[in-house]
Amino acid sequence: GFVFAGRHRDQMGGRKRHGPFDWGGAFLQMLVLILFILFVDPPSFTVAGSESIVLSRWILGGGLVTTSFIFYVIQRQVPEPILDFSLFKIRTFWAANLANFLNFVSYSSLLVLMPFYLEEVLRLDPEHAGFLMSAIPLTVFLVAPISGHLSDQMGTRYLCAFGALVSGTALLLMAGVLGSGLSDGTEHYKVMFSLLTIGLASGIFQAPNNVALMSALTTRKLGVASAIMATIRNLGLVTGTGLAAKIFSWRHSETGDFVEAFHYALFVFGLLAFGT
């Protein structure tokens, strides 16, 4: 990767002059992201063998809001901001990023809960469970290029909407909205089909969404836009993972039923997928 990047980087126009790197903005952005992750899933710690202490969400939320405000004010003043907030004045840009965030929130819920279902409920060994889970990325790998090509022919809006519709429907069906959903007696081929459907939905959604986001900007802004897109995607994964774990744990503690708690979490994130 290092050799390839060194040989082929910056072929679109040679060196360009930029202002000084925004080190202060980079530090504040890192702090905002850390506080956001801690707010979604507050850590616990012990001191000298004491009972576990969980950081208050009120404290973390206050720190997150304060740091975010300081970061926003500074970014509006520096000549070369690390995060150009003016991009969010473009409707297509912020709408595509919001859809991207919601998509990865719902997507990550399945990624974090499904392995436990496969091993704890279906009693599969880790190798078999990993093989079934590979259906999602492999399907995305095959479908995304096709979806990207179709978006050039028919636009991005309807493909993104269709991908979100398929994802939400698949999650609700897995949650047992119609039928038994994924339960302790589900055959392996049905599980595989469900995972292939999620991969299909994600592949249909991602490429057109990326095209819509990038086509809304000038070439000069594409580097910053791609960084924002990657950050939003990771925030979606972190948020979905934390929320899925919390929702599942709460429901499981209430009912004591793994499958019921699994269905409940998938139902919540299936509804969220329709909001994409």
Residue given tokens 């069906």 in the structure block: 173
Name 104's Cβ contacts closer than 8 Å, sequence gap at least 6. Answer: 232, 233, 236, 237, 240
Name residue, tokens 């208050």. Answer: 56
Most confident of 7-21, 163-177, 208-222: 163-177
Please choose, from the candidates 255, 217, 261, the residue with its C-alpha nearest in 3D space to the C-alpha of residue 93: 217
- Letter string b/e over residues 193-230, b meaning 16 or more CB atoms within 10 A of that residue's CB: ebbbbbbbbbbbbbbbbbbbbbebbeeebeebbeebbe
Tens digits of residue pLDDT in 143-153: 988 998 888 88
Helix (H) or strand (E) holding 37: helix 23-40
Determine how many CB atoms are found less than 10 A away from the CB of residue 237: 18
Q: Which of 51, 25, 53, 55 is nearest to 37 (CA)?
A: 55
Contact (CB, 8 A) for 231 and 252: no
**pLDDT in the model for residue 195:** 93
pTM as predicted: 0.79
- 3-class DSSP state of 45: strand
Residue 261 pLDDT level (bands cut at 50, 70, 90):
very high
Cβ neighbours of residue 123 under 8 Å, at least 6 residues apart?
A: none
% of the chain exceeding 90 in pLDDT: 20
- Structure confidence at residue 114 as a pLDDT band (50, 70, 90): very high
Q: Which of 174, 170, 236, 245 is nearest to 206 (CA)?
A: 236
Average pLDDT of span 170-184: 87
In the numeric block, which tokens belong to residue 146?
A: 């096709």
Q: How far apart are CA 137 and CA 101, in angstroms?
A: 18
What's the average model confidence in pLDDT over 51-63? 79
Residue 1 has pLDDT above 70, yes or no: no
Tell me which DSSP letter residue 156 carries.
S
* Whole-number pLDDT of residue 41: 74
Q: Report, in angstroms and rounded to the nearest whole number, the Rg of the chain calculated over CA atoms.
A: 21
- Decide if pLDDT at 189 tops 60: yes
Distance CA 218, CA 231 (A): 20
pLDDT-wise least confident of 56-70, 115-129, 211-225:
211-225
